[in-house]
Amino acid sequence: MPESGVNSKNLSMKKYFIIVCFTILSVFSAVSKPALKAFLTYATFNNPSKGTYIETYISIIGRTVNFVKNTKGNYQGEVNIAINFSINNEIKSAKKYTLTSPEIKDTLTEFPNFIDQQRFSLPNGKYSMEISISDKNNSSVAPFVNSVPVEINLSSENISISDVQFLESYSKSSTSSMITKSGFDLVPYVSTFFPENIKQIKFYTEIYNTKKVLGEDQKLLVTYSIESYQSNVRLNNFSAFSKQKSSEVNILLSELNIESLPSGNYNLVVEISDKDNNVKATRTCFFQRKNKPTTLALDDLKSIDVSSTFVKYYKSIDTLYNYIRCLRPISSSTEIQFAENQLKARDLILMQQFFYNFWKSRNEIQPETAWREYYDEVKKVNKEFGSINIKGYNTDRGRVYLQYGPPSVRGQYEHEPNAYPFEVWQYDVLVDNSLLLTNPNNRQSNKKFVFVDNDLSSNKYNLIQSTAKGELTNSQWKTSLYNSVSDANNPTPDKVPYDFESLITEIYNNPR
């Protein structure tokens, strides 16, 4: 957990990144069910009269649990959970319990998800949190055990902020329960991922010691906003504030509309300032957003004012047309279709609006920087893969380079016996830049591309084989590499000779 005060930000970002990486729990279950799945998040708080504590939130995916008939004749799932916190292998707090699901009448209905919340009183310190989880109705599978580092560090002297607890919903409480805090029932949202169907990000956090530090009945400002995770730049139209007075514990229970927030990685930032606008404490919370791609409605595009943007300087229709053409390798299918259908009129203003919208949809904070970085790559591609008659970005190698980035290994083979000049590109990790709007986290591993120069003159190597999704696959690609003209003993082979195939196979498996 981050330290209190204005220096807490970077440590908080790290903490939530760890959660995302390590808290998806999966246990193999019976053949009739998929793997048991549960999601874990946690948050630390401080009760001034009782001390610091940590809350754990676990969401069980009902369809992955074995439901069996209970004494009432209904069906119910049960999950065994054990959680302990230790320092140097010495357990400081622990709980072991069975979590039961809601009952259902029969197994033909939808299996409900169910949530668990626990509190552990623990002083400030660095702990190892170990969790064990298993399906009680599937004893043939050993429990899944995982360990996560946890730090509690909430100052009793300085202004500090608890962790941010994401919420499924909240309401005024009528009776006190485990999910009650500050007079509200808070149903936890057990994830840091917000898909497109979620329009609001709801959250709760506590602020401590404002009365002690600022004095009684002093004004303070609580601001909350969304910033880019990569650049830490605050986003316009995603911020709000709450004016409060100093207290032993101040609370922030609020929400932000994220309906128009593009897909990407972000921080939710909570900041406390005194009456003189001095920042006294900051807390950040990492989250991911997946949203629908921005649609290209002509009327919406025409409403964009580019007069104060970098594209206002692009006044040559021919130059701007070429700029738009070079975007094709990283464009979505919608953008390609729009460019083909709507830009034929060569309307300068519309071209400027399209070009600006393209880059703003990819980098809302710094669209010009994103464009210039991409254009640097385009210039490399034009120089390396282009010719007098064709731009490099219009070649197969240029398109692949821009769409997927530079290969991990680029094997170039211009003088292999009986072979046309060819190249083998290997990507250890491949990201499709044309899918960034629809699937920003798309990843493929260990993918290859094979290009061949059959005419020996134009530098226009053609793609003949790839193992990447959506790319050309050709089981006879090795035949396309064979140059029978240089093989007088076998001018028209039905298939390539064995020694040639062995050579190509070795190169393909180990490009260099």
Q: What phi, psi does 174 have (nearest 5°)?
A: -100, -30
Q: What is the pLDDT of residues 197-225, one digit of tens each?
A: 999 999 999 999 999 999 999 999 999 99
Q: Rounded to an integer, what distance in angstroms lies between the CA atom of residue 480 and that of residue 476?
A: 7
Pairing of strands 125-135, 219-228: unpaired
Q: Evaluate the CA torsion angle 309, 315, 317, 322 in order and state its sign.
A: negative
For the chain, the 3-state helix, strand and coil shares in percent, each to the nearest 5, are 25, 40, 35
Residues 60 and 116: their CA atoms lie apart, in Å, by 8
Q: How confident is the model at residue 292 (pLDDT cuts 50, 70, 90)?
A: confident
Asked if the model's pLDDT at residue 15 lies above 50, the reply is: no
* Whether the predicted pLDDT of 229 surpasses 90: no
Mean pLDDT (the chain) is: 87
In this prediction, residues 412-428 reach a mean pLDDT of 93
* CATH T-level topology, domain 6-289: Immunoglobulin-like (2.60.40)
For residue 485, what pLDDT is reported?
65
Tell me, what's the pLDDT at 13? 36
The confidence score (pLDDT) of residue 30 equals: 35
pLDDT at 493 > cutoff 80 = no
Burial 202-212 (b: 16+ CB within 10 A, else e): bbbbbbbbbbb
Residue % of the chain over a pLDDT of 90: 66
How far apart (Å, rounded) are the C-alpha atoms in residues 208 and 217? 14
pLDDT at 1 over 90: no
Q: Are 120 and 54 in contact (CB under 8 A)?
A: yes
Instruction: Give the model confidence (pLDDT) of 454-484 as tens digits.
Output: 888 778 899 999 999 989 999 889 988 988 7
Please give the structure tokens belonging to residue 198.
């979620």
pLDDT above 60 for 133: yes
Q: pLDDT (tens digit, 9 = 90+) per residue, 81-110? A: 999 999 999 999 999 999 999 999 988 888
- Token pair for 438: 């629809």
High-pLDDT (> 70) share of the chain, %: 90
Q: Which sequence spans correspond to the domains of the chain?
A: 6-289, 298-385, 395-509
pTM (two decimals): 0.62
Q: Nearest-CA neighbor of 327 among 314, 316, 338, 336? A: 336
**β partners of residue 181:** 184
Residue 9 clears pLDDT 80, i.e. is over it: no
